[in-house]
Structure 1
Amino acid sequence: MPEPPAPAGLAGRQDVASATRDGPARFSGWNLTAADLSRLDLQGCVFERCRAGQANFANAGLAETQFLGCDLNNSRWAGASLSSAVFRDCKLTGALLGEIRSFGLTFERCLLVSAQLPGFSFRRQTLDGVDFQGADLAEADFREAVLTDCNLKDANLARARFEGADLRGAEIGPIAAGDLPRFKGALISRAQAAIIAGGLGLKVV
């Protein structure tokens, strides 16, 4: 895979389009802050240690693309195709990830603090080191997922589903009584059970 040198200073849409004219490329250390990459075909590319805060990836073709150690804070992704894409060791605080095509998309050791992920499916995924604190996960699907070293505190979990999930490695807050059926069959630790019971006004002795 070709690895075009990073331009001096900010790189933009034309730089990326030119680098991928003949197919996928590896972008290492590029500064793509606030770049408009919407609707570009970036399938199979690799972005490594890139700065792309506030970048616009809306409606871009990103299937099987890898983002490794990138700053993607406050980036926009609406309508993007991210099937089988990988985010590893990335910062995605405040990212807008609603309405994307995400079959097979994986997050590993990523910050998704205050990110927008309504309706996102994590079903049967293994999530390791993902921080969802304050994220919008309304109607997200975590059924049969395994969460290790993850943080769900203060996240919006309205109508999210956790049936059969293994939550023992996640930080969770109190759960309302009306939400308990959506956690049927989930595995939790004794400490988590105490937090949930406390939120329901019960005392664990």
Structure 2
Amino acid sequence: MRATLVEASAPDGIASRQDVEATLQHHASPVRFIGWDLTDVSLKGLDFHGCEFVRCRGGRADFSSCDMTDTRFNSCDFNNTNWRRASLSAAIFQDCKLTGVQIVDARTLGLMFERCLLVSAQLHGLSFRRAELKSLDFQGADLTEVDFREAVLTQCDLRDANVTGARFEGADLRGADLGTMRLSDASKFKGAIISKQQAAILLSSLGLRVA
């Protein structure tokens, strides 16, 4: 059971690291940050365990090495933010803009994304094994060595994503947009389940048609 959250009023303008630290220290319970502007703020190493961010902005903010365990993010705009070495275990991002985020060398057991923009995100080595991924835009993202084994991707966009070394054994990609695949791309999705339409696109690159 999650602890009762205390709502924290957003300061006028862009919040400072000192504003955030004071808010966390003032409350014994996890904090719900509503409408905070954290643009360009360095929050490196702070403890947000169990907190919640609602309709917050934080373009280019630094969340590296933060404890974000069991934290919730709803309708936030955190484009181009840094999450290197952060603890994101059991964290949930819903309806968030996360274009260009860097989630590298982070602890991500149970991390979930729902209806999020992850365009050009750096997600090297993340595990989505057995996850149900819905409405995620991975266009142009770095998905090298990401584990998609047995995952189900529905309304997900993988066009132009770098999936070198990613694992797709048993992954259901029938509901994903893989773009215009060439035969040279097929080996990258080895072991995945694709639709007849996707197979037809692949074969068309060889000049073949599916009757």
Common topology (TM > 0.5): yes
Following superposition, the deviation at residue 108 of structure 1 comes to: 0.2
Counting only pairs closer than 5 Å after superposition, residues 122-141 of structure 1 correspond to structure 2 as 122-141=128-147
Match of 1:93, SS state, is coil
Match of 2:173 in 1: 167
Deviates more, 1:121-130 or 1:20-29: 20-29
Q: Structure 1: any 5+ residue segments left out of the alignment?
A: none
Deviates more, 1:12-21 or 1:154-163: 12-21
> What TM-score does the superposition give when structure 1 sets the normalisation length?
0.94
Check the 8 A contact 1:82/1:101 in 2, yes or no.
yes
**Cα distance change, pair 133–145 in 1 and its aligned pair in 2 (3 A):** same
Following superposition, the deviation at residue 24 of structure 1 comes to: 1.3
Match of 2:107 in 1: 101
Q: Which runs of 4+ in 1 moved over 6 A?
A: none
> What TM-score does the superposition give when structure 2 sets the normalisation length?
0.92
Deviates more, 1:172-181 or 1:152-161: 172-181
2:51 to 45, 51, 54: 45
Match of 2:21 in 1: 17
Distance 2:74 2:185 in 1: 39
Distance 2:45 2:60 in 1: 16
Counting only pairs closer than 5 Å after superposition, residues 69-80 of structure 1 correspond to structure 2 as 69-80=75-86
Q: How many residues align?
A: 204
Match of 1:100, SS state, is coil
Following superposition, the deviation at residue 177 of structure 1 comes to: 4.3
Q: Structure 2: any 5+ residue segments left out of the alignment?
A: none
Match of 2:154, SS state, is strand
Match of 1:76, SS state, is coil
Following superposition, the deviation at residue 131 of structure 1 comes to: 0.3
1:156 aligns with 2:169: no
Distance 1:99 1:55 in 2: 17
Match of 1:90 in 2: 96
Match of 2:190 in 1: 183
Q: Percent identity?
A: 54
